[in-house]
């Protein structure tokens, strides 16, 4: 059978036989793209083989004992020969198409959305941190990504969490409740808990919320988005604007590590 892209050997016409017999000769017109998609839906190998046999034999019955795919082949071959047919008006045969395929086809003119960056949950730790820290860093990035924030926000959050608790989920002996949750380190600074050392007494949230890495990260991003012009600040400046630390310059030392984590974790 000729491929749709092959040039015709000769300019022949389609002839209809008597009764329900259809005689087919290769036409001089290529089948349109809609025909190709219909062949694929019906089962390309079966339909092409059946259509080829029909063309070679010169006849195939619409109503005899041929299988539905063979009858579809006859239907397709016949339509392919009708050069003046308005192909956009040719509808698929719902009695033959597998259920659900016809309705799941993309609408004409629809363009597939571009796929954005994705986080690799199995990314290996970068030099300077361990697997637990890397897992927490990935959580921080995922939360920021889900909020529609970009890489700079992730870097600010990572540098902050590294300075505050070395990217560990930290319990505090002064807050006994913090030990009721999964914790990885201990720090004793007022009532600060979690990766970002946020204080329940200062309105950051409950102990349960602040000991949950994802919720804690979300609260940090809330604070960052409330800072006007944070996008134009340095990484350390943006971190300090949220945390209001007594040591504002300390965040800068983690900027390189933050970017290395982003580069490793995001693909």
State the pLDDT at residue 116.
74
Q: How far apart are CA 123 and CA 34, in angstroms?
A: 43
Give the CB-side neighbour count of residue 209, counting CA atoms within 13 A.
14
SS3 label, residue 66: coil
Report pLDDT digits (tens) over 9-55: 444 333 333 334 333 333 334 444 444 444 444 454 444 444 445 44
State the pLDDT at residue 9.
45
Q: How far apart are CA 90 and CA 113, in angstroms?
A: 28
What's this model's pTM, rounded to 2 decimal places? 0.59
Q: How far apart are CA 251 and CA 163, in angstroms?
A: 6
Which token pair is 178?
Answer: 């913090």
State the pLDDT at residue 109.
53
SS3 label, residue 116: coil
For 16, the enclosing helix (H) or strand (E) is strand 15-16
Report pLDDT digits (tens) over 73-98: 555 555 555 545 554 555 554 444 44
In the predicted structure, residue 1 carries a pLDDT above the cut 50: no
State the pLDDT at residue 267.
87
- In 39-92 the beta strands, taken as DSSP E runs, fall at none
């Amino acid at each position: 059978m000729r491929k749709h892209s092959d040039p015709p050997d000769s300019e022949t016409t389609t002839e209809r036989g008597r009764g329900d017999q259809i005689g087919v000769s290769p036409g001089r017109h290529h089948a349109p793209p809609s025909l190709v998609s219909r062949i694929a839906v019906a089962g390309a190998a079966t339909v092409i083989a059946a259509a080829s046999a029909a063309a070679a034999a010169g006849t195939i019955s619409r109503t005899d004992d041929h299988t539905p795919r063979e009858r579809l082949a006859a239907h397709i071959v016949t339509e392919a020969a009708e050069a003046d047919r308005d192909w956009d008006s040719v509808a698929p045969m719902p009695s033959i198409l597998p259920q659900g395929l016809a309705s799941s086809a993309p609408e004409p003119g629809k363009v597939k959305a571009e796929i954005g960056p994705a986080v690799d949950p199995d990314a290996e730790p970068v030099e300077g941190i361990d697997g637990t820290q890397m897992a927490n860093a990935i959580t921080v990035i995922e939360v920021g990504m889900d909020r529609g924030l970009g890489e700079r926000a992730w870097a600010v959050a990572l540098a902050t969490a590294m300075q505050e608790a070395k990217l560990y989920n930290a319990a505090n002996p002064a807050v006994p409740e913090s030990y009721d949750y999964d914790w990885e380190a201990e720090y004793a600074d007022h009532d600060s808990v979690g990766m970002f050392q946020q204080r329940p007494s200062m309105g950051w949230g409950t102990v349960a919320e602040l000991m949950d890495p994802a919720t804690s990260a979300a609260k940090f991003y809330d604070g960052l988005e409330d800072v006007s012009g944070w996008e134009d600040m340095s990484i350390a400046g943006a971190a300090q604007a949220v945390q209001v630390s007594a040591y504002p310059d300390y965040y800068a030392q983690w900027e390189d590590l933050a970017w290395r984590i982003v580069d490793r974790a995001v693909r």
